[in-house]
Amino acid sequence: MKHCQYFDTSYVCDWLDEVAKTHFEVIVSCLLPHPVEYARVGGFWDTLCSRTVQIKEGLNCFFCLVPYDVITFEIWDYVMPYWLEAIRTEVPSEDLHHLKVLLNKSFDMDLCPLPFGTDSDKMYHFISERFDDSSAYVQEQALQWLQILSTLDIYLPIHMLLSMFISGVQNMTELLKQQSTAEPESPTKESKPSQPRSFPQNSPEEECPPPLSPAKSHVVVEAFEIYDRETELVLPCYIMMLDLILKQLELQNFPKYLGLYNETSRQIMQLLTLMLGTRWDGTHICSDEQQANSCMFCQNTALWHQVTSQVMQNFCPLSQVKIPTKEIPRVDESKRLSTTPTCMSRKSSVTSNDDVESTAGEKEEECPGFDMTSMPLHLQLHHAFLQELENTKDTDAGFALLTSMKYLILNGECLNYTVTQFPEYVKFSLSKYLIPK
């Protein structure tokens, strides 16, 4: 197969076409990073070389077949996961740059010679379908593939990436919900928690035959070596997603400071709200503030907030709204004010909302009378941030969270724009979450 570029084109095309139709599995088995024995003939298979060189040469042969229309969408979709998995597990990160030119050429949306190369949904289907899976393990593997492509400066379409992640988070949240119903008690307690879903022992690509030589080296630390439960991997996946988005926005010189009212910002806000929508799972090994540095769950929580504040900075407008100078009431004056009728009217409006609460479902308990899911996305995110603020004890996480809120409220003017539309919600949320009782 690998020598077909030396043959007469028309003859080879007809022959390959025929073989592809009748022997799909034979073609595919020759195109894998660990091809079947009889396909390991000539070229680099006859020399002793590093696994990186084997993978590079193998990929090169694979891409040489593209002009002959052998690489159909079905073949690409089947074979690429094996290649990326081979790169992930067998190519040391310092060798990754050897594959840069090759992979850039094949994943380039403008120059790609693949027959479906202009259709990003098809080209990345083998990755996006992994975000339809609720397994954090499967999603983390796909995120690592995306990281490899991103490290090699390959442009990943931003909207496609965001759609993938939104569906990924929606699916992983199911895992977290299952976990919280299976284990109602707090996962922070000392005793070793039960394992409702443990990591699969084998990678999803385990069925591929092992390479002959040189010996397969273990170049990655797998998630199941670090975390006890699969649900603990959800938060690291969230961080990887946001980190990938930041890297791609930067790489592609994507316009910054777009504000809240555009499709990209909307997708980002939806993603963040979804991530905050379900309680994260993790095991605290810290008992007090001093040990938070050594607690991986605390570190991951702070890291999520830090990356999120960078994301917020990226799409919220650059300049802050100018707040009109107002005299701040003195404490004794505010005490006097608290008995005035103005405040009473606020209280009564909240009371009337409480009446609605009795008919509202359990979900709205946090915010009586308001169906948050029908609110604009920026208010949903605002609400999610406020709830998170109540639960955040760690100073690093708290600082980053307040920074994110500053961008949303002062730069994005999320409340300023909606105060006339949803005055009751704005009053309620400020009085419940921001005014000390």
Binding site for Zn ion (CB under 5 A): 284, 286, 295, 297-298
296 or 375, CB closer to Zn ion? 296
Contact 146, 134 (CB under 8 A): no
Burial class (CB in 10 A: 0-12, 13-18, 19+), 380: buried
C-alpha–C-alpha distance, residues 245 and 270, integer Å: 14
298 or 426, CB closer to Zn ion? 298
Give yes or no for a cis peptide into 193 (omega within 30° of 0).
no
Give the shortest CB-400-to-Zn ion separation in angstroms: 16
84 or 292, CB closer to Zn ion? 292
293 or 334, CB closer to Zn ion? 293
Angle of helix 377-391 versus helix 395-406 axis, rounded to 10 = 160
Which residues have C-beta within 8 Å of that of residue 204, sequence separation ≥ 6?
138, 141
109 or 286, CB closer to Zn ion? 286
Give the shortest CB-189-to-Zn ion separation in angstroms: 13
- DSSP line for 325-342: P-PPPPHHHHHHHTTSHH
Contact 141, 204 (CB under 8 A): yes
Backbone angles phi, psi at 275, to 5 degrees: -65, -35
327 or 390, CB closer to Zn ion? 390
Give the shortest CB-284-to-Zn ion separation in angstroms: 3
295 or 377, CB closer to Zn ion? 295
Give the shortest CB-309-to-Zn ion separation in angstroms: 20
Contact 372, 380 (CB under 8 A): yes
Residue type, 196: P
Helix residue ranges, H only, 358-422: 377-391, 395-406, 414-418
Give the shortest CB-390-to-Zn ion separation in angstroms: 17
Give the shortest CB-295-to-Zn ion separation in angstroms: 3
52 or 283, CB closer to Zn ion? 283
Give the shortest CB-316-to-Zn ion separation in angstroms: 29
Helix residue ranges, H only, 23-99: 24-31, 51-64, 73-90
181 or 290, CB closer to Zn ion? 290
Which residues have C-beta within 8 Å of that of residue 229, sequence separation ≥ 6?
179, 193, 195, 196, 197, 198, 281
Q: Which residue spans within 197-244 are E strands per DSSP? A: none
